[in-house]
Amino acid sequence: MLDKLQRRLGLRTDSVIFFTSAALTILFVLTTISLTDQVDSVFTTASDWILKNLGWFYILGVTSFVIFLIWIALSRYGHVRLGGQNTRPEYSNGAWFAMLFAAGIGTILMFWGVAEPISHFAKPPEQGVEPESAHAAERAMAFALYHFGLHTWAIFCLPALAFAYFVYQRGLPFRLSSVLHPLLGDRINGPIGKSVDVTAVVGTLFGVSVSIGLGTLQINSGLNELFGVPENKLVQVVLIAVVTAIATASVMSGLDKGIKILSNINILMAIGLLIFVLLAGPTLFMAKGIVETTGTYVSSVVPLSFWNDTFADSGWQGSWTVFYWAWTITWSPFVGIFIARISKGRTIREFVLGVLALPTAFTVIWFSIFGMGSFDIEMNGSGGLVKAVVDEGDVPGALFAFLENYPAATLVSALSVLIVVIFFTTSSDSAAMVVDMLCERVDDKLPSPTRQRVFWAVTQGVVAGTLLAATGKGGLDALQQVITVIGLPFFVIAFVMMFSLLRALKSDYPELGRNPLTKQLEARGGTAAGPEATAEPEALIDPETPTEPEAPAAGAVKDPVG
C-alpha cells in the first residue's frame, strides 16, 4: 500500500522509513498544537525524570565517546584508510577544515560565544567560586570549552567515523542502520533496521529544528537591537518561515554550487568578525587569554568529564551540559554524514585526530577572544553584559549587547545577523538533503526527486515553529525539554555503534587485532590457526599493497551536499 502511494506521489524512497517518519512528525505537530498543555506536561515530566535519574548517563556517555575515539585513532586500526588503501583524500587539509567549520562550528559559536562565558562568570556552576571574580572568569572558560571542545566533536565524530567505515569499506548506504551491520547482518533491511532509521530521521529533524529555533531567537534579538522589531512568537514564526523559504528555494533551484560558495563566504565573514573583535578590543589581554585559556582547558577537561554536581545537586548540569549533549547527539547523524562524505581517503587516525583537534583548536581561539572580551567589558569597562544576559535572561541577544561596546556597532551587528541567517539557511538546506538520504532505497541509485527534499525542508521549519510557538513554555525552555527526551535513544544507539565498529574492524582486519607474540606463534604453527594464518599486518596497512578490495565507486553514494 505504501509503495503504491509512493508511486502515486512520484516519490523514490524507502516507503516504510519515509512515511513512518513523516507520520510521526506530523502527529507531533498536530498534537502539540491541539493539546499544548498536555504535551508540555508530558515533556516536562519526562525531561525532569531524565535529568534527575539519567544525567550521569549522558555525562558518562560522551566521555566514553572521547576515550573510545582517541584509543581507536592511536591503535593498530588507525592505519586503516577509509575507501581502500590506495585511496587518497579528495580535499586538502585546509579545504577539509573549512568544511568542518561549516558543518558544526559556526552556528554554535555565533550563539554561545558570548552568552556561555558571561553566564558562568555571573553564576559559577561550582560551589565556593565568587561570582564575577577572576577565578569565576577562569572557571567560566573551562566550562565553555568543555561544552564546545573535544566532547561536542566526539559526538559528531563517532557517527561520522561509523558512516564513513561502513559506506566506504562495505558499500552500505548512508543510513544509521548500516552501522549496525556487524550485529544485524541483512536484518538492517528489516523491521529492526527500519526502526533505527526512523529514529535517526525523526531525531535529526528535531536536532536541526532546535538549531533553527536557537538561530531564530538570535536573529530576532539582532533585529530588535537594530530596528526595534519586537521579540515575540509571531515574529519568530515569520523568521522561521523566511529561513525555510530560502532553504526550500535553494533545494528547488538545485544551486548547490551557489550554496557552497555562499557557505565559504559566510565562513570568511565569521573569521572576519573574530579578527575585528581581536583588533578593536583589548588585543593584548585577549592574546594572553588564548594562551592561558588553553592551559585552563587542558588541566580541567579530565575532571569536568566526570563531574556530576553530585554534592551540590543544584540542577545546573541538567539545564546546561545534559541539554548540550542531548541536542548535539540528535544533530549528529546530519553532521556525521556530512563529515563522512568529505573524508574519504583519510586514515582512521587522520580522520579522528583531525575532526577532534582542528575544530577544538579553533573553538579555544573563538571562546578566548569573545569570552575574554566579555570579561574585560565587565571588569574594566562599562559593564552591562551580566545585566542583559543573566539578570534579564536575554541569552540570544548576548552577541549584540557585546558588540555595542565596539566601533561601528550597528554595521557589525547587521553583518552578524546576516552571518547567522546564512548559517542557519545553509544548515536547513543541507539537512533536508541528508534526511532525504536517510530515507533512500537501497536498490535505487538514481537521484531522488526534488519534491522529497522540499518536503523535509518545509517539515524542519514547521517543527521549529511548533517548538517555539505552539508550546506553553518559553523558547529556550521548550527546546531544552523536548531535545533532552529525544536525545536519550541516540545515546543508547551510540554505545551499540562503538561495539559494532570495533567488531567490524576485528572481522575485516583480523591480523591487526592480534598481538605480536600470538602472530609469531601462529607463523610457526604453534596455535590452532596453523600455518595459514601467517599474513603480516603490514600487508594490510601498506598503502602500496593492494590487498584490500576497492571501495564502491563514488558515484554509487549520494552526495549530501550536492
440-485 pLDDT, tens digit per residue, is 887 767 777 888 989 999 999 999 888 887 665 555 566 677 888 8
User: Cell for 406?
Assistant: 565596539
The answer to whether the beta carbons of residues 120 and 139 sit under 8 Å apart is yes
Residue keyed to cell 535513544:
489
Q: Are 163 and 174 in contact (CB under 8 A)?
A: yes
> Average pLDDT of 348-376?
94
Q: Which of 34-38, 142-146, 283-287 has the lowest mean pLDDT?
A: 34-38
Rounded to whole angstroms, the Cα distance separating 168 from 344 reads 7
C-alpha to C-alpha distances, 183 to 168, 500, 503, nearest whole angstrom: 18, 6, 8
Residue 119: closest CA among 392, 416, 420: 392
In the prediction, which pLDDT does 251 show? 76
Say how far apart CA 258 and CA 211 lie, in whole Å.
22
Q: In DSSP terms, which residues pair with 81 in a beta bridge?
A: 347
pLDDT of residue 260: 61
> What is the pLDDT at residue 501?
95
Of 23, 16, 21, 12, the residue nearest 2 (C-alpha): 16
Task: Judge whether 556 lies within some domain.
Answer: no
Which of 88-92, 189-193, 308-312 has the weakest average pLDDT?
88-92
Residue 526 forms part of a structural domain: no
d(CA 240, CA 479): 15
The residue written with cell numbers 599493497 in the block is: 545
Of the ranges 18-22, 105-109, 530-534, the best mean pLDDT one: 18-22
Percent of the chain clearing pLDDT 90 (strictly above): 48
> Whats the size of the chain, residue-wise?
562
Question: Which residue is it, cell 577544538?
Answer: 360
3-state secondary structure of 347: strand
DSSP letter at 441 equals -
Q: What is the pLDDT of residue 79?
A: 92
Say whether pLDDT at 560 is over 50.
no
Rounded to whole angstroms, the Cα distance separating 146 from 328 reads 14
| Host H or E run for residue 217 | helix 191-227
Say which residue, 46 or 424, is predicted with more confidence: 46
- 149 domain residue, yes or no: yes
Spatial contact of 316 and 309, defined as CB atoms under 8 Å apart: yes
CB 100 within 8 A of CB 359: yes
Among the ranges 99-108, 188-197, 322-331, which has the highest mean pLDDT value? 188-197
User: SS3 of 124, please?
Assistant: coil
Question: What is the pLDDT at residue 375?
Answer: 97
Q: Which of 331, 359, 351, 343 minimizes the C-alpha distance to 427?
A: 331
Partners of residue 473 on adjacent β-strands: none
**What does the pLDDT average to over 218-224?**
92
Q: Are 409 and 417 in contact (CB under 8 A)?
A: no
The number of folded domains in the chain is 1
Residue range(s) defining the domain that contains residue 86: 2-122+130-508
Instruction: Indicate the DSSP class of residue 321.
Output: I
Residue 373 counted as domain residue: yes
CATH code assigned at 402: 1.20.1740.10
Max CA distance (Å), the chain: 81
Identify the pLDDT of residue 122. 97
Instruction: Look at 424 and 141; give whichever has higher pLDDT.
Output: 141
Cα(96)–Cα(197) distance, integer angstroms: 28
Whole-number Å distance between alpha carbons of 362 and 369: 11
Q: Is the pLDDT of residue 522 over 50?
A: no
Instruction: Tell which wins on pLDDT, 477 or 378.
Output: 378
Q: Is the pLDDT of residue 538 over 50?
A: no
Helix, strand, coil percentages, rounded to 5, for the chain: 75, 0, 25
pLDDT band at 540 (very low <50, low <70, confident <90, very high): very low
Residue 358 lies in a domain: yes
Residue 268 placed within a domain: yes
Query: Which region holds residue 83: left if phi is over 0, alpha if psi is between -120 and 50, else beta?
Result: left
Quote the CA–CA distance of 236 and 220 in Å, as a whole number: 7
Cell numbers representing residue 29 in the block: 505537530
Q: How many CB atoms lie within 10 A of CB 178?
A: 24
Euclidean distance between CA atoms 354 and 6, whole angstroms: 41
The mean pLDDT value for 68-78 works out to 95
How far apart are the C-alpha atoms of 125 and 140, rounded to whole Å? Answer: 8
Q: How many Cβ atoms from other residues are within 10 Å of residue 248's Cβ?
A: 21
In a domain, 554, yes or no: no
* pLDDT surpassing 90 at residue 70: yes
User: Exposed, middle or buried: residue 538 (CB in 10 Å: 0-12, 13-18, 19+)?
Assistant: exposed
In the predicted model, is pLDDT for residue 116 greater than 90?
yes
pLDDT in tens, 139-194: 999 999 999 999 999 999 999 999 999 999 998 988 899 999 999 898 898 999 99
Report the Cα–Cα distance between both ends of the chain, in Å, rounded.
32
User: Per-residue confidence at 513, pLDDT binned at 50, 70, 90?
Assistant: low
Instruction: Return mean pLDDT, the chain.
Output: 84
pLDDT of residue 558: 41
Q: Which residues pair with 347 in a beta bridge?
A: 81
Q: Do 478 and 471 contact (CB within 8 A), yes or no?
A: yes
- Pick from 34-43, 163-172, 213-222, 335-344: least confident: 34-43
CA distance 219 to 418: 9
**Identity at 514, one-letter amino acid code:** R
Helix/strand/coil for 81:
strand
What is the C-alpha separation between 38 and 471, in angstroms, rounded? 10
Domain contains 529: no
